[in-house]
Chain A
Amino acid sequence: ETGVTQTPRHLVMGMTNKKSLKCEQHLGHNAMYWYKQSAKKPLELMFVYNFKEQTENNSVPSRFSPECPNSSHLFLHLHTLQPEDSALYLCASSQLPPGQGSGSYEQYFGPGTRLTVT
């Protein structure tokens, strides 16, 4: 595998389900990100992990719960979602020197998980 991979590619879930999105990067990067891409809206940064530590949470509702067990893997645990949470969820990674913010260097993205909440 190369680059950034995400599974599943498509997910349909009811509002009472619990599911998880998985992201894996094979680039040796130390920072990973979750973005949400809704129709007609700019990409929204949700979470940033740097060296496995969460460094940013952009006011994301608690029904989204990230987990970063190591610098190569990132999960997004989903529970009790709403229909408006339907979107493309993109994972990205980058190399991030200490003390630098997440915007400083180019990020490499996975293909995304298309989530539909019914």
Chain B
Amino acid sequence: AQKVTQAQTEISVVEKEDVTLDCVYETRDTTYYLFWYKQPPSGELVFLIRRNSFDEQNEISGRYSWNFQKSTSSFNFTITASQVVDSAVYFCALSETGANSKLTFGKGITLSVRP
């Protein structure tokens, strides 16, 4: 069975601070996918990144970066120089592969960025 744990429930930072959102996953598969989604107050989940388990390269996209560590089963997300618009709930998700794969989401982390 697959599982995603986001131990942090709420994080509050002041604008321009860096913040890291943790994600730990469990799976028996050797091939799987990891995702991060952002849910702003408007409600829709916004896709941020999809990572294949064979690709352990860290990724940077503007102020966002992701650190994939297979050895610790973690896929952490860092926002550099946070902004008020980053305030949202962030979900990490895992999917195994195959015809029966489906997304398993963590419970989400509520990030508040104060001016």
| Chain A residues proximal to chain B, CB less than 8 Å | 4, 40-43, 45, 48, 56, 88, 90, 92, 99-112, 114
| Chain B residues proximal to chain A, CB less than 8 Å | 4, 33, 35, 37, 42-47, 50, 91, 94-108
Q: In the complex, are the beta carbons of B44 and A104 less than 8 A apart? A: no
- In the complex, number of A-B residue pairs with CB atoms less than 8 Å apart: 70
Q: In the complex, are the beta carbons of A48 and B44 less than 8 A apart? A: no
Q: In the complex, are the beta carbons of A101 and B44 less than 8 A apart? A: no
Secondary structure class of chain A's binding surface, majority of residues: loop
Q: In the complex, are the beta carbons of B47 and A45 less than 8 A apart? A: no
Contacts A99-B99, A103-B96, A109-B44 known; 7 new A-B pairs at CB < 8 A:
A41-B107, A42-B4, A42-B105, A101-B97, A101-B101, A103-B95, A103-B97
Distance of A40 Cα from B97 Cα, bound (Å): 27
Q: In the complex, are the beta carbons of A4 and B44 less than 8 A apart? A: yes
Name B43's contact: one of A101, A105, A111 (CB within 8 Å): A111
Name A112's contact: one of B35, B43, B104, B106 (CB within 8 Å): B43
A-B contacts, 22 listed (Cβ < 8 Å) = A41-B107, A42-B4, A42-B107, A42-B108, A43-B91, A48-B102, A90-B44, A90-B45, A92-B45, A101-B95, A101-B96, A101-B99, A102-B103, A103-B33, A103-B96, A103-B103, A106-B35, A107-B47, A109-B47, A112-B43, A112-B44, A114-B43
Residue of A nearest to B108 (CB): A42
